[in-house]
C-alpha cells in the first residue's frame, strides 16, 4: 500500500466516523432493542495469505450455533428485518471504518476472503492479496449483483459452497487482478464514487 493511499484511507475514515457517528449509534441501539446481543458480527478474514484479522459488521442474521462459508439462499431465513435493510444500503459495513483505521483493510481493494477459500485457492489468493483488501472494489461493483443472483437459489450450505467456489471466486479473482494492474489513488476515488452512486440509486 502506498503512502498516498494510506493517507486517503485514514483521512476519509476519520471524517466519515465523525459524520456518521449518530447513524452508527442509532443502528446499534435498534439492533440491541429489537434483536438483542450481539450487535456486531465479527468474522475472521484474510489480510494476506497467511495473516488473518477480525472484520467488523453490524449483525444482520439470527445467531446460529454453527455458521461457515458465504451467505446464499440457505441462510436467507436467518436475515433479520433490520438486517435486510442494512444489507440493502450496505449500512452493515459501517463498523469497518474501525478496520480501515487499524490498517486491516482499505476503502478500495479485493474483498477480504475467508480463510477456507484462501486455503482452497492458494495460487489465486497469493496474487489477489498482494493488494490490501477493501470495503469496495472493482469486483464488488461489477460482480456483486451477479453473485447474489447465483447464490440466492442455493438451498443447502453444500450447494452454496459449490456455486461460490466454481462460479464466483474465479471471476472475482480476475477482476481483482485487473484492479491491481490499474490501481492508483485516482482510480480508487473513482471506484468509491461509483459505490456511493449505486448505494444512493438503491435508496432512490
62: left (phi over 0), alpha (psi -120 to 50) or beta: beta
Rounded Cα distance, 3 and 165, in Å: 34
Q: What pLDDT score was predicted for residue 204?
A: 65
For residue 49, give its domain range. 3-203
Tell me, rounded to whole angstroms, the distance of Cα 34 from its chain centroid.
24
Strand 134-136 to 106-108 pairing:
parallel
Instruction: Output Rg (C-alpha) for the chain, integer angstroms.
Output: 17
* pLDDT tens per residue across span 67-108: 778 989 999 999 999 999 999 999 999 999 999 999 999 999
Q: What pLDDT score was predicted for residue 160?
A: 95
The residues pairing with 44 across neighbouring beta strands, listed in sequence order, are: 54
Q: Reply yes or no on whether the pLDDT at 166 is more than 80.
A: yes
**At CA 168, angle to CA 145 and CA 175, rounded to 5?**
80
- No. of H helices and E strands in the chain? 9, 4
Rounded Cα distance, 150 and 160, in Å: 9
Question: How many structural domains compose the chain?
Answer: 1
* pLDDT tens per residue across span 7-56: 999 999 999 999 999 999 999 999 999 999 999 999 999 999 999 999 99
Q: How many residues are given for the chain?
A: 204
Amino acid at each position: 500500500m502506498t503512502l498516498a493511499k494510506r493517507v486517503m484511507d485514514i483521512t476519509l475514515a476519520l471524517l466519515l466516523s465523525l459524520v456518521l457517528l449518530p447513524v452508527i449509534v442509532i443502528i446499534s441501539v435498534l439492533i440491541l432493542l429489537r434483536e438483542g446481543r450481539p450487535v456486531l458480527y465479527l468474522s475472521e478474514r484474510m489480510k494476506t495469505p497467511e495473516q488473518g484479522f477480525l472484520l467488523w459488521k453490524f449483525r444482520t442474521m439470527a445467531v446460529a450455533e454453527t455458521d461457515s462459508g458465504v451467505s446464499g439462499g440457505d441462510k436467507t431465513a436467518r436475515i433479520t428485518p433490520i438486517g435486510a435493510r442494512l444489507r440493502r444500503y450496505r449500512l452493515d459495513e459501517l463498523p469497518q471504518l474501525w478496520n480501515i483505521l487499524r490498517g486491516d483493510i482499505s476503502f478500495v481493494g479485493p474483498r477480504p476472503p475467508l480463510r477456507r477459500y484462501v486455503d482452497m485457492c492458494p495460487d489465486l489468493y497469493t496474487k489477489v492479496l498482494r493488494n490490501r483488501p477493501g470495503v469496495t472494489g472493482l469486483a464488488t461493483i461489477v460482480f456483486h449483483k451477479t453473485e447474489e443472483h447465483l447464490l440466492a437459489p442455493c438451498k443447502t450450505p453444500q450447494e452454496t459452497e459449490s456455486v461460490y467456489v466454481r462460479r464466483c471466486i474465479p471471476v472475482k479473482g480476475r477482476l481483482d487482478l485487473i484492479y491491481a494492474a490499474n490501481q492508483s489513488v485516482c482510480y480508487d476515488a473513482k471506484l468509491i464514487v461509483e459505490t456511493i452512486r449505486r448505494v444512493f440509486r438503491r435508496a432512490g
